Structure 1
Amino acid sequence: MTKAQQNSIQVDVSTHYIEGQSNPAEDNYVFSYTITIRNTGSTGAQLISRHWLITDADGGVQEVFGEGVVGQQPFLQPGEDFSYTSGTSISTPVGTMQGSYQMRSEAGITFEAPISPFTLAMPHILH
């Protein structure tokens, strides 16, 4: 078995525009995102930190680094998952997020779990 198979994390994302907290007149668009992290490998792994790149439609980029997620550093055994909801705001009605989680396996090996780009968008703004 390769290290990639041992250390394998799947990340699924869903997003939601929060109209009640947004203020388009002031270029403030608020979104929540729910992430499910699933250990699809054959060894346990702990989420240590996160790295996000949040890009608005004008090309403005926010870079975020931090320990854990929502105050936690979950340890996932093979087949286990962990879900959380967080949020962000951008200055345009459409943007993207992408990044990675820094993970540590039971054996102490650190590895990256990539988070593919996903879209943040007001309803009915994209065709």
Structure 2
Amino acid sequence: MYRQITRNIQVTVQPEYLPDQSQADQGRHVWAYHILIENQGSETVQLLTRYWHITDALGRQQEVRGPGVVGEQPVLRPGEQFRYTSGTPLPTPSGIMVGSYGMTTLEGERFDIAIPAFSLDAPDVVRRLN
């Protein structure tokens, strides 16, 4: 599990390899990632946008930007949390993702919160530290 707190908002990520959706022999590896966003602060906030930076095992990179998450732009009052699951395919059996959420307060102040970098590794991948 991976966690990061920005401005009293904690983001927790749990990646999960999906062997039933992957076809390793055809260069298709699929992961789900389960996200929990917890407002541990004293102000109400809304998630407006998402940004992902995804890197596969060969160093190829892609960026994903868009409104909300899974079709929603959740409002989180103090003490509230929001959970969702999404996924990503990669052509390699490992990679890494990192990103941020664009947030706003009720007063209209915009700020970003960090999504911690997390590793995407197929269960049978040999890990090398460089």
- Per the TM superposition, whether the score is higher than 0.5 is yes
**Count, aligned residues:** 121
Q: Secondary structure at the match of 1:21?
A: coil
| 1:52 counterpart residue number | 52
CA distance in 1, matches of 2:124, 2:79: 36
Equivalent pair of 1:94/1:119 in contact (CA under 8 Å): yes
CA distance in 1, matches of 2:46, 2:58: 35
How much has 1:126 moved relative to structure 2? 4.8
Q: Residue type of the partner of 1:110?
A: R
| 1:37 counterpart residue number | 37
How much has 1:82 moved relative to structure 2? 0.2
Q: Deviations over 1:23-53 (max 9, x none)?
A: 1112110000000001111100000000001
| 2:111 counterpart residue number | 111
Q: Residue type of the partner of 2:90?
A: I
Alignment of 1:1-127 (within 5 A): 7-126=7-126
By percentage of residues, which structure has more helix?
1
How much has 1:107 moved relative to structure 2? 1.4
TM-score, normalised by the number of residues in structure 1: 0.91
CA distance in 2, matches of 1:85, 1:13: 10
TM-score, normalised by the number of residues in structure 2: 0.89
CA distance in 1, matches of 2:89, 2:44: 33
How much has 1:99 moved relative to structure 2? 0.3
Q: CA RMSD in A?
A: 1.1
CA distance in 1, matches of 2:113, 2:25: 37
How much has 1:109 moved relative to structure 2? 0.4
Q: Secondary structure at the match of 2:20?
A: helix
Q: Residue type of the partner of 2:10?
A: Q
Q: Deviations over 1:32-91 (max 9, x none)?
A: 000000111110000000000111010011100010000000000011100000000011
Equivalent pair of 2:52/2:63 in contact (CA under 8 Å): yes
| Percent identity of paired positions between Structure 1 and Structure 2 | 47
Unaligned stretches of 5+ residues in structure 1: 1-6
Unaligned stretches of 5+ residues in structure 2: 1-6
CA distance in 2, matches of 1:44, 1:23: 43
